[in-house]
Chain A
Amino acid sequence: MITRRFAVLVAVGLPLPALLPAPWLAVAGVLAVALLLALIDLAVAGPLTGLRLRRDGDRTVWLGNGATSRLTVTNGGRRTVRLSLRDSWVPSAGAGPLQHALTLPPGAEQEVVTTLVPTRHGDRPAVRVTLRSRGPLGLAYRQRRRKWNEKVTPPWTLRVLPLFPSRRILPEKLARIRVLDGSAVTRGRGHGTEFDVLREYVIGDDVRSIDWRGSARHHDVVVRTWRPERDRRVFCVLDTGRTSAVRIGDVPRLDASIDAALLLSVLAARADDRVDLLALDTVVRARVAGGGHRTQLPRLIDALASLEPALAETDYSLLGRELLRRDRKRSLVVIFTALDIAPMIEGLLPLLPRLAARHKVVVAGVRDPAMARLATLPAEVSAADVHAAAAAERVLGQRDRLRDLLDRSGATVVDADADTFASKVADVYLLLKATGRL
């Protein structure tokens, strides 16, 4: 193929027909010279088949941070290759720069660095590396078909972990766990319901916690200390069905759910509880179960990263099959979904009494602040505003009814705006933990 320089070469010959006596011969001459030079250039250009590509770099990155991917090109041919290279990623990977130019003598290898600033979480694949070998004159180049380029591209996937805006409230929640634990100095001893140890009484201890039988044995006054229960089970259920695709503010509802689930998982892992995860719509999209306490947190984050809303109705019978197994121990089931009445009546509500009989169930849904805004009339009222307010009130009324229904079925409902949602869910967990109701 020819380059723009070839066109410039032809354009340089433009005055010749006017200057030479035989204009048509001059045209033929200019074109012939340009074509000849281009052919020579093409023949001299280094072959693409001798090139080898290798890639390394970051495998995971938190959304909002940058990652780098290093592509190493080795010239295994016997001629120098003047290479133009384009490292194509999916657009949401935010890859740059678009093109690299490098000159590779025989046997040399060189590294090109692509910086990635992803704009969405999930797996961002490297799609294709396109190679173009220019001739020394720059008049022509060699480039193979797309299929060939895709074949030589080393496969690579960058896993982008979801944005975790609740990180900023994590220290506060962790401090509350430490208070519960008794490892931080507060008003009381470690709260909890699980017996920890017996120790000597010191002045200031609650006299109610003196263990008289132990004191009789030890010839000294001993008190019992308690600690919060450990090794409880937290089961996060994420609904990735159609209701999770709804944009709240500018992000889908699922992102808020992921954020809250992350916070809850981190808290539970710190409090020595086991965290399981299930994401489902028509099929189970992600499942993280078992494993040790803290070791599985990265696995959990990894699983959450790849979740995407699907435009399908969620099948809660899958959840029932998972949670109503006979060997399933009692756990805290947190269902992240939307408090929409129609899918709830179809899906979760029939299942809920049986679930609540065996587990502690929390149903958490992000509220859309735009709805509350629509429900109040603005200063300059028009008829359309009144009708919109009526429609919003209708939905709000339905949601209140749904909350009553869920309450009556034995579930705790968390219904909060997106900015406080994760915090509210964590509070429910901490409250249950503190009161030993897990």
Chain B
Amino acid sequence: MTTTRRRRRWLRLAVPFVILFALVTGTLVVHAIAQPDPEDADYLSPVSDAGIGGGTLAARLRGEGVVVERVTSTVDALTALWTGGGSTLLVTTPGLVDTSQLSTFGRLPTGTRVVLVAPTRAALDRSDWPIEVHGDRWTATTAEPGCTDPTAAAAGPAAVRDLSYGGDCYDGALLTVAYGGAVVTVAGAADPFRNDRIGEHGNATLAEGLLSQAGRVVWLDVHEREEPPPPSSEPTPPTTPQQTTATGEASPGDGRPADPTDGPQEQPEQAAESPPNPLGQAFPPAFWATVVLLAAALLALAVAAARRLGTPVAEPLPSRVPALETLLGHARLYQRARARGASLAILRTAARRRLAVHLGLPPGAGIADIAEAAGLEEDGVRDILGSAVVPENDDELIAMAAAVQNLEREITANSAAAIFEGEQS
């Protein structure tokens, strides 16, 4: 039996961890399934009516007189932006799009608005935009605008808060940054753009507000990872400087709304690759060698201490039962049940029995007999030993119990004194 018990002992340790592991894995799997996949062709596509598509938003924009132009590659998008000025570029899958190409300084026409839907940390790292992911949440949730941005203020609460970028609006989920002549807006979640969620809260107003500020939307609908172009420059870059200067003056009077409250956040560019760990070079190799040797010495000490000269011997434990266990349990039960009447009755019965024995009366002698034999007033004894009054609170109970004990002591002491006097005389 002991061997089977020992064999099963590891289960006690393993079972909680297995359950925990299963719970965590299950939750992660369910969460991964519930998240829309950017590589799905329907995901935020202007021509899709699926739940995760963006057909509703495209239709609404067209209804407002905004031209929606769907492009399927970054090159096409740049071409489209350069051919018609003052457009909004909607990037639905920043994780798949080559954002470095889009964010290169001067690559976009001045005055272009760029709206990025939930760009991840990796997508932003690839780009030059001075935006960072400050935090993320398990799922998207609604948030109050909390800022004076007219678009956000008009939309009211919207389910945009998932990734946060440190802006003021929607707890940091909506941030607008001017960079390289373009205005880049990042939204923390895809919910406001999706067919199945656009009707909730102020989602529709927010999405339309973000996209309808220029008369034209270039909808970049990419569902495969784009490879960065070879280093040889493409036809568009040479035109960039000219165009920038050409439209540079035009941008202020471009009918753009007031500046976002965040204002342009210009941040110094970081070094592209992280330098080697400075701690490694701060000390000479002799130091590290000494540390390794010290670790080896400590390890040897631990190994030496681990082997005992004989394992401890277990004592065959004797059976010992605490005394008065049931008695004290009874007492606590009486107290919990506030059985004051019952407790007092037991004390009185015991006192009567002892007094009857003490006074030489037959067992079961009444209160009258006891009072007579003890030479006391019957009424007084009856009050103490036989009254039908049930104590109302603990103080009464204590007083009555003490009275019973005092009476008993008084009678026994009296008769002892009487016997003593009798012997004396």
User: Which residues of A come within 8 Å of B, CB atoms?
Assistant: 1-4, 6-8, 10-11, 13-18, 23-24, 26-27, 30-31, 34, 84, 86, 88-92, 99, 120, 127-128, 130, 132, 143, 146, 149, 242, 245-248, 252, 308-311, 368, 370-371, 374-377, 381-384, 386-397, 400
In the complex with contacts A27-B292, A99-B309, A247-B321, A90-B315 CB distance below 8 A: yes
Kindly state the separation between the CA atoms of A263 and B318 in the bound complex, as whole angstroms. Answer: 24
Query: B29 interface residue, CB < 8 Å from A?
Result: no
- Tell me which of B134-142, B158-166, B176-184, B322-330 binds A: B322-330
Q: Is the interface of B mostly helix, strand, loop or mixed?
A: helix
Q: Are B349 and A391 in contact (CB under 8 A)?
A: no
Q: Are A7 and B321 in contact (CB under 8 A)?
A: no
Q: Which residue of A lies closest to B336 (CB)?
A: A387
Contacts of B297 in A (CB 8 A): 7-8, 10-11, 14
Taking the closest CB of chain B, its distance from the CB of A276, in whole angstroms, is 26
Query: B334 interface residue, CB < 8 Å from A?
Result: yes
Kindly state the separation between the CA atoms of A11 and B297 in the bound complex, as whole angstroms. Answer: 6
Which residues between 346 and 373 of chain B lie within 8 Å of chain A, taking CB atoms?
Answer: 346-347, 349-350, 353
Q: Are B394 and A245 in contact (CB under 8 A)?
A: no
Q: Are B334 and A13 in contact (CB under 8 A)?
A: no
Q: Are A7 and B298 in contact (CB under 8 A)?
A: yes
Contacts of B285 in A (CB 8 A): 23-24
14 more contacts with CB within 8 A, not counting A89-B313, A246-B322, are: A1-B303, A7-B297, A23-B289, A23-B290, A90-B316, A127-B313, A245-B320, A384-B331, A386-B397, A387-B331, A391-B328, A395-B327, A397-B349, A397-B353
Contacts of B319 in A (CB 8 A): 242, 245, 308-311
Q: Which residue of B lies closest to A383 (CB)?
A: B394
Q: Are B328 and A13 in contact (CB under 8 A)?
A: no
Task: Pick from B298, B300, B321, B394: contact of A2, CB below 8 A.
Answer: B300
Q: Are B405 and A391 in contact (CB under 8 A)?
A: no
Query: B376 interface residue, CB < 8 Å from A?
Result: no
Contacts of A248 in B (CB 8 A): 323
Taking the closest CB of chain A, its distance from the CB of B304, in whole angstroms, is 5
Q: 17 pairs across A/B with beta carbons < 8 Å? A: A92-B315, A146-B310, A246-B322, A247-B321, A311-B319, A368-B324, A381-B398, A381-B401, A386-B343, A387-B331, A387-B332, A390-B343, A390-B346, A390-B347, A391-B328, A391-B330, A397-B353
> Number of B residues whose C-beta is below 8 Å from A?
56
Q: Which residue of A lies closest to B300 (CB)?
A: A7
Q: Are A3 and B405 in contact (CB under 8 A)?
A: no
Contacts of B316 in A (CB 8 A): 90
Q: Are A377 and B401 in contact (CB under 8 A)?
A: yes
Query: B390 interface residue, CB < 8 Å from A?
Result: no
Q: Which residue of B lies closest to A132 (CB)?
A: B309
Query: B18 interface residue, CB < 8 Å from A?
Result: no
Kindly state the separation between the CA atoms of A393 and B300 in the bound complex, as whole angstroms. Answer: 66
Query: B342 interface residue, CB < 8 Å from A?
Result: yes
Contact with A along B57-73 (1 / 0, CB 8 A): 00000000000000000
Contacts of B335 in A (CB 8 A): 383-384, 387
Contacts of A311 in B (CB 8 A): 319, 321
Q: Are A2 and B322 in contact (CB under 8 A)?
A: no
Query: B154 interface residue, CB < 8 Å from A?
Result: no
Query: B307 interface residue, CB < 8 Å from A?
Result: yes
Taking the closest CB of chain B, its distance from the CB of A118, in whole angstroms, is 12
Task: Pick from B318, B328, B340, B398: contact of A309, CB below 8 A.
Answer: B318
Q: Are A84 and B347 in contact (CB under 8 A)?
A: no
Q: Which residue of A lies closest to B294 (CB)?
A: A14
Task: Pick from A3, A27, A371: contact of B293, CB below 8 A.
Answer: A27
Task: Pick from A17, A382, A395: contact of B289, CB below 8 A.
Answer: A17
Contacts of A387 in B (CB 8 A): 331-332, 334-335, 339, 343
Kindly state the separation between the CA atoms of A382 and B332 in the bound complex, as whole angstroms. Answer: 13
Taking the closest CB of chain A, its distance from the CB of B124, in whole angstroms, is 42
Contacts of A308 in B (CB 8 A): 318-319
Query: B344 interface residue, CB < 8 Å from A?
Result: yes
Contacts of B15 in A (CB 8 A): none
Kindly state the separation between the CA atoms of A386 and B348 in the bound complex, as whole angstroms. Answer: 12
Contact with A along B94-135 (1 / 0, CB 8 A): 000000000000000000000000000000000000000000
Kindly state the separation between the CA atoms of A62 and B320 in the bound complex, as whole angstroms. Answer: 22
Q: Which residue of B lies closest to A395 (CB)?
A: B327
Q: Are A31 and B296 in contact (CB under 8 A)?
A: yes
Q: Are B315 and A91 in contact (CB under 8 A)?
A: yes
Taking the closest CB of chain B, its distance from the CB of A346, in whole angstroms, is 16
Query: B14 interface residue, CB < 8 Å from A?
Result: no
Query: B4 interface residue, CB < 8 Å from A?
Result: no
Contacts of B292 in A (CB 8 A): 27
Kindly state the separation between the CA atoms of A89 and B257 in the bound complex, as whole angstroms. Answer: 90
Task: Pick from A128, A242, A368, A395: contact of B310, CB below 8 A.
Answer: A128
Q: Are A247 and B343 in contact (CB under 8 A)?
A: no
Query: B11 interface residue, CB < 8 Å from A?
Result: no
Kindly state the separation between the CA atoms of A17 and B141 in the bound complex, as whole angstroms. Answer: 59
Task: Pick from A27, A99, A146, A310: contact of B311, CB below 8 A.
Answer: A146
In the complex with contacts A7-B300, A14-B294, A246-B321 CB distance below 8 A: yes
Q: Are A90 and B313 in contact (CB under 8 A)?
A: yes
Q: Are B310 and A130 in contact (CB under 8 A)?
A: yes
Contact with A along B269-297 (1 / 0, CB 8 A): 00000000000000011111110111011
Query: B402 interface residue, CB < 8 Å from A?
Result: yes
Q: Are A393 and B286 in contact (CB under 8 A)?
A: no
Task: Pick from A7, A24, A149: contact of B301, CB below 8 A.
Answer: A7
Task: Pick from B298, B311, B321, B324: contact of A245, CB below 8 A.
Answer: B321
Contacts of B394 in A (CB 8 A): 382-383
Task: Pick from B289, B298, B346: contact of A24, CB below 8 A.
Answer: B289
Contacts of B323 in A (CB 8 A): 246-248, 368, 370
Taking the closest CB of chain B, its distance from the CB of A287, in whole angstroms, is 21
Contacts of A376 in B (CB 8 A): 405
Taking the closest CB of chain B, its distance from the CB of A106, in whole angstroms, is 23
Kindly state the separation between the CA atoms of A11 and B300 in the bound complex, as whole angstroms. Answer: 10
Q: Are B290 and A17 in contact (CB under 8 A)?
A: yes
Q: Which residue of B lies closest to A4 (CB)?
A: B304
Q: Are B402 and A381 in contact (CB under 8 A)?
A: yes
In the complex with contacts A390-B334, A390-B342, A391-B330, A84-B309 CB distance below 8 A: yes
Query: B389 interface residue, CB < 8 Å from A?
Result: no
In the complex with contacts A128-B313, A390-B344, A27-B398 CB distance below 8 A: no
In the complex with contacts A88-B313, A383-B394, A386-B347, A143-B305 CB distance below 8 A: no
In the complex with contacts A386-B347, A393-B350, A143-B300 CB distance below 8 A: no
Q: Are A10 and B321 in contact (CB under 8 A)?
A: no
Task: Pick from A89, A92, A143, A397: contact of B307, CB below 8 A.
Answer: A143
Taking the closest CB of chain A, its distance from the CB of B358, in whole angstroms, is 14
Q: Are A383 and B398 in contact (CB under 8 A)?
A: yes
Taking the closest CB of chain B, its distance from the CB of A342, in whole angstroms, is 10
Contacts of B353 in A (CB 8 A): 397, 400
Task: Pick from A88, A120, A393, A397: contact of B318, CB below 8 A.
Answer: A120
Kindly state the separation between the CA atoms of A65 and B328 in the bound complex, as whole angstroms. Answer: 37
Contacts of A8 in B (CB 8 A): 297
Q: Which residue of A lies closest to B317 (CB)?
A: A92
In the complex with contacts A7-B300, A24-B289, A90-B316, A242-B328 CB distance below 8 A: no
Kindly state the separation between the CA atoms of A3 and B309 in the bound complex, as whole angstroms. Answer: 12
Contacts of B328 in A (CB 8 A): 388, 391
Contacts of A1 in B (CB 8 A): 303-304, 307
Q: Which residue of A lies closest to B286 (CB)?
A: A23
Q: Are A88 and B327 in contact (CB under 8 A)?
A: no
Task: Pick from B305, B321, B398: contact of A4, CB below 8 A.
Answer: B305
Q: Are A26 and B405 in contact (CB under 8 A)?
A: no
Contacts of A86 in B (CB 8 A): 309-310
Q: Which residue of B lies closest to A312 (CB)?
A: B319
In the complex with contacts A383-B394, A390-B343, A374-B311 CB distance below 8 A: no
